[in-house]
Amino acid sequence: MSGEFSLIDKYFAHKQQSRKDVVLAQGDDCAIVAPSNGSHIAISTDTLVSGTHFLADADPAHIAHKALASNISDLVAMGASPAWVSMGISLPEMNASWLERFSSAFFKLADYYGIQLIGGDTTRGPLTITLTVQGLVPEGKALTRHGAESGDWIYVTGKLGDAKAGLDVILEKNISGDRELNSELQRRHFEATPRVLAGLALRDIASSAIDISDGLISDLGHILKRSNVGARLNVAELPFSDELVRFVGGTEAAQQYALTSGEEYELCFTVPEANRGQLEVALSTTPFTCIGRSPGLVS
């Protein structure tokens, strides 16, 4: 697009301290990276389209946060530590204040997790953001969806349901009379962050993992299908916030939200009986809850 170079320079090029494993970032035909020996590279791409994944008039800071957080969440669900990101962005117009807010929020999160923007492409068109993230995982240590076995215990990190309630508020589908509660749940939707430390700590402990982006039922379903095992969930153990109960008006409704809410970027993972004891130490800074077991052994 015309003015592409100045736009890239102004908002996207060389805004971060370079990682040691980045040989060449923006400015040439390709970026060059140098992963250390013994590392595998995990790669994931996600596209966010205006009107489908966010409202056209959404705060650009929220769009940037969501785009990067959801991509980083895919990396950590594999046990990969975030390293590099490329951005394809299509913009309907050159809007300086929009770009300013978008890029500052993007780099704030990117710097926090040590992931470096190494390249991309900028075009004119309907607002769309495609990110390709790459992360590092020691050879053979990636957490997959296909490793769960009969008898494994099923866990989730954090609390579930707030992101769906926040989305209800944003879409004005369901709004509580309590304005502070509405805005708190909306904030939790927009500011959800990926469970990076937990994902890395689970490498040696979990048999499978996935990030919850479509809802627990659906995402746990992916693990079960790929691992070819079943699950018995203890719905009474589902973790959710007091704010969610207030918002939906009761425990049962909160459980429904916890089962179907996505985009809080919590992890769902399975752990073999033999590794259960290590969880407390490995996840010492992350809240987690056992919500069931893959049937096969009598508990």
Q: Is 145 annotated to bind ligand?
A: yes
CA distance 136 to 159: 27
137 closest CA partner among 83, 79, 194, 85: 79
Residues touching Mg ion, count (CB under 5 A): 1
Partner touching 289 among ligand ADP, Mg ion, none, CB below 5 to 8 Å by kind? none
178 binds Mg ion (CB under 5 A): no
Question: What is the residue type of 107?
Answer: F
- Pairing of β 116-124 and β 39-49: unpaired
Give the residue with the Cβ less far from Mg ion, 109 or 117: 117
Residue window 16-35: x/- pattern of binding to ligand ADP, with contact defined by CB under 6 A? ----------xxxx------
Give the residue with the Cβ less far from ligand ADP, 27 or 249: 27
- 82 half-sphere exposure, CB direction, 13 A CA radius: 29
CA distances from residue 246 to 158, 187, 196 in whole angstroms, order as listed? 18, 16, 29
Q: What is the SS3 assignment for 24-46?
A: ECECECCCEECCCCCEEEEEEEE
Partner touching 252 among ligand ADP, Mg ion, none, CB below 5 to 8 Å by kind? none
Residues 6 or more apart whose Cβ sits within 8 Å of residue 20: none
Give the residue with the Cβ less far from ligand ADP, 29 or 180: 29
Give the residue with the Cβ less far from ligand ADP, 69 or 118: 118
**Sites for Mg ion among residues 188-247 (CB under 5 A):** none
87 binds ligand ADP (CB under 6 A): yes
Exposed, middle or buried, 216 (CB in 10 Å: 0-12/13-18/19+)?
A: buried
CA distances from residue 281 to 205, 286, 290 in whole angstroms, order as listed? 11, 10, 15
Which stretch in 118-126, 194-202, 237-245, 291-299 sits in contact with Mg ion by CB under 5 A?
Answer: 118-126
264 closest CA partner among 174, 184, 175, 159: 159
Which one of residues 121, 178, 204, 252 is an interface residue with Mg ion (CB under 5 A)?
121
228: left (phi over 0), alpha (psi -120 to 50) or beta: left
Residues 6 or more apart whose Cβ sits within 8 Å of residue 226: 144, 145, 146, 208
Which one of residues 8, 76, 223, 282 is an interface residue with ligand ADP (CB under 6 A)?
8
- Residue 124: CB minimum distance to ligand ADP, A: 12
Give the residue with the Cβ less far from ligand ADP, 101 or 246: 101
For residues 114 and 18, the answer to whether their CB atoms sit within 8 Å is: no
Q: Is 21 annotated to bind ligand?
A: no
Give the residue with the Cβ less far from Mg ion, 121 or 178: 121
- Residue 253: CB minimum distance to ligand ADP, A: 42
Residue window 111-150: x/- pattern of binding to ligand ADP, with contact defined by CB under 6 A? ------x-xxxx----------------------------
Which one of residues 61, 64, 77, 89 is an interface residue with ligand ADP (CB under 6 A)?
89
Partner touching 8 among Mg ion, ligand ADP, none, CB below 5 to 8 Å by kind? ligand ADP
Q: Beta partners for 208? A: 270
Give the residue with the Cβ less far from Mg ion, 90 or 270: 90
The binding site for ligand ADP (CB under 6 A) comprises 4, 8, 12, 26-29, 87, 89, 117, 119-122
